[in-house]
Structures are given as C-alpha cells and as structure tokens.
Amino acid sequence: MFTTFTASTDYSKGDIGQLFIAGFASSMFFGTIVGSLADKRGRRRACVTYCMTYILSCITKHSPQYKVLMLGRILGGIATSLLFSAFESWLVAEHNKGLKNTDQDKGVLMFPCISILFHSCCPFFNFQRGFDQQWLSITFSKAVFLGNGLVAIISGLFANLLVDTLGLSPVAPFDAAACFLAIGMAIILSSWTENFGDSSDNKNLLAQFRSAAVAIASDEKVALLGAIQSLFEGSMYTFVFLWTPALSPNDEEIPHGFIFATFMLASMLGSSFAARLLARSSPRVESYMQIVFVVSAASLLLPILTNFLDIPSGIKGGGISFSGCIQLLGFCTFEACVGIFWPSIMKMRSQYIPEEARSTIMNFFRIPLNMFVCIVLYNVDAFPITIMFGMCSIFLIMASVLQRRLMVIAEGQKSRSEDWTAMKRDTETEPLNI
C-alpha cells in the first residue's frame, strides 16, 4: 500500500504516514461499535458489511485527492475490525449451534477464513453440523496455513503480475481485491445462515458495551486473554514496520518480495505445527504458548545483539550483510511463532469469550493494540530501531508471564470441576441405606 501511495501520488512520507495512522485509529474508535452491531444485528450481515466497506476502500485508491484517500483508510480500518471479529464469531456460533442442535438445519457450514479470497477459492472445506469440538481447532489452523500463508503468497505474485508483467497501474491489485471481495460476498449471501450474540431488543448499544466490559472485568481469564493478544499483536505490527530498515540500515539492496515469501512460508510451517499441537490433548494450548512467546522475544532481540557485534561500514548500497542474514533467521523464527499464535489464540478465544458479546469483546481487545500502533507510527523516527525491538521483546516476555497466569487459573478451575463431577458420580452410585 505504501508503494501504491508513493507511485500514484505526490504526497510526502509524512502525509502517507498519517494515512496509515488514520487506518489504525479508525479501527480503534469504530471497532467496538461495529463489533457490538455484529453481535446485535447479525454476524453474517457484518461479514457482508466488511465486503462492501473494503470494496469502497479499494475504489478510493483511484483518487489523487488526499481527503478521499483518508476516507478510504478510515473505511479500511472499520473493515479490519469486522474482518478480525465477525468472521470468527460467526464460525464459533455456527459450530456451537451445530453441537446443540444436530437435528435442525442440516445445511452445510462453510467456515470463514481470515481471507475472503481464501474463502471464495476453497469451498471444499465444508462441515456438517454436529462435528467434534476438536475440529474447530483444525479449522483455525487450516485458515491460517492456507488463508494467511498460501493465499498471501499467491496474492503477492498475482499483484506483481498485474503491475510489473502486464504493466497495469499500481491500483490494479486493489481492483482485483474488490472483485474477489464481491465473489466472497455473493457466497456469504447465498450459503451462510445468520447468527447473533445478544439480539434482545431491550439492549441498546451502550448496554452492549457495558455487558462486554463487565465480562472482561469479572472474568480474569478473558482479561488476561485480551492483554496477551494486545501485547503480541502490538509487537507483530511493530515488526511489520521495522523489518525492512533493520535488514537494510545502509540502504542495502534486499529482495523484499523473496523475503516476504519466506516470512509467509515460515508462518505456514508454524500454523502446520500448531495444527499438530492442537490435535493432541497434551500439551495444552495454555502451556505451549508460554514457550512460543519466549522464543518470539528472543528472536526480536537479535537486531540488538547484532548491533553490538557488527561494525557499521558506512558504505551505502550493496547486498544484505552478515548481521542482516542473522536477523533474517530470527525474523523467520518470529514469523513461525506468528503462525502458531493465530490458531492458538483463536482456540482460546472460542473457549473463554462468552458467546453473547463475542465480537464486541474481541474488538475491545484491539483498542490498546491500535493505540500502541498509532503511537509507534507517529514516533517511528524518534527512537532508535534497537529500542523499538527491545520494547517488543519486553512485551512478549510480559505476554508469556500472563499466559502462565492464564494456565494456572484454567487448570485450577478444571481440577475443581473434575473433583465436583467425581463427587457427584460417587453420590449417585452410593446405595441407599434403608
């Protein structure tokens, strides 16, 4: 997107940076509103709204007017909030609906991938109602593996084909995205059923916010999960902005496309590994995610370590340096951890977030994330890159500590539940003394 703005407009990097900040700020301010509307008015309707909103955002890229581009970024921020909440909420609700009532509505459950493109290209992942609870974890891991990994690579290659090979304008990939979004919207409208969170008429939007806030405040597991998600995703988005200057501090010529494809491959390997972990009863997701966060923190410390080991040459240009290669290895490790994180956090959200306000709570989690990213973007030149990576590592260590706390609480509640079940069973089987 940065390349599109610089190639098709005359705006400065500062102006373009404000456009990016507007997108994250829009997601922060409007996210909770659209999340609550998704719970109250319907998740299927929210998914359709995502398609329409992002199509409009893509269309605005044709305008050279700054105000129109700003409107497009605001629409993109709203669409992002819907993308990261409505689709997952719809899937979990349909899954649970199937478990509760297998005799009604024997229609096909098409799972919503993280990417509409993946959903439209992969209709073969259909599930009949009433399937095993474990299949939800498998669906999450496949969505990340195919949707966030494989389709991201194919989309990048397709965008390169449109612009470089066919000689179309830099906006052509956005036009193609709008077409795929329209296809996805048609599939949603024709094959998905509607589900809701709390659709009671006597509950307005403010009451929906209040119930979501109460759910977070009253259940420590939900609050911990939100903090963990914000810490990791904040570090992840900061990494997205920092990896290019970290690998080319002296304006080295680095193969951006090849490196991006390598990152996506590492993420796919991570999600594949997560699928194997989630398919097992041990270790539990709350347990192995502690290790994932520690490994993520260590991988983002490499730019700091190589800064002390490598002596700056002061020569501009050239190829990637030895320290850059070491950092690239660490960055690939971090991307593999990202691949493990997505299906794992989806699994934990499906377990701990209450159904009646799922989309609202998930967008509440994104408020501190978007606020942090806006601050980073606004002050990206104010701090050395090593300080930024060090801050991300600290956040990831904090996420590991909070994950440990979540595991302790979850295991404690599970143990008490098993003891109560065993005591109840012994009471029922005990013979009556007459």
Is residue 368 within 8 A of residue 231, CB to CB? The reply is no
Close Cβ partners of 341 (under 8 Å, ≥ 6 residues apart): 232, 236, 270, 289, 292, 296
Structure confidence at residue 98 (pLDDT): 56
Could you report the per-residue pLDDT of 193-207, keeping only the tens digit for each? 998 877 665 567 777
Could you report the per-residue pLDDT of 222-231, keeping only the tens digit for each? 999 999 999 9
Alpha-carbon distance 54 to 80, whole Å? Answer: 8
Structure confidence at residue 327 (pLDDT): 94
Structure confidence at residue 285 (pLDDT): 92
Is residue 121 within 8 A of residue 151, CB to CB? The reply is yes
Task: Give the three-state DSSP class for 108.
Answer: strand
Could you report the per-residue pLDDT of 81-104, keeping only the tens digit for each? 999 889 988 988 888 775 544 444
Task: Give the three-state DSSP class for 250.
Answer: coil
Alpha-carbon distance 263 to 393, whole Å? Answer: 19
Alpha-carbon distance 101 to 81, whole Å? Answer: 30
Structure confidence at residue 8 (pLDDT): 54
Name the band, by pLDDT with cuts 50, 70 and 90, for residue 12: low
Query: Comparing 135-139, 240-244, 388-392, which segment has the lowest mean pLDDT?
Result: 135-139
Could you report the per-residue pLDDT of 271-316, keeping only the tens digit for each? 999 989 988 888 899 999 999 999 999 999 999 998 876 655 555 6
| Mean pLDDT to the nearest integer, 318-335 | 89
Is residue 39 within 8 A of residue 196, CB to CB? The reply is yes
- pTM above 0.85? no
CA distances from 9 to 58, 60, 156, 306 (A): 16, 13, 22, 37
What is the percent of the chain with per-residue pLDDT over 90, rounded to a whole number?
A: 37
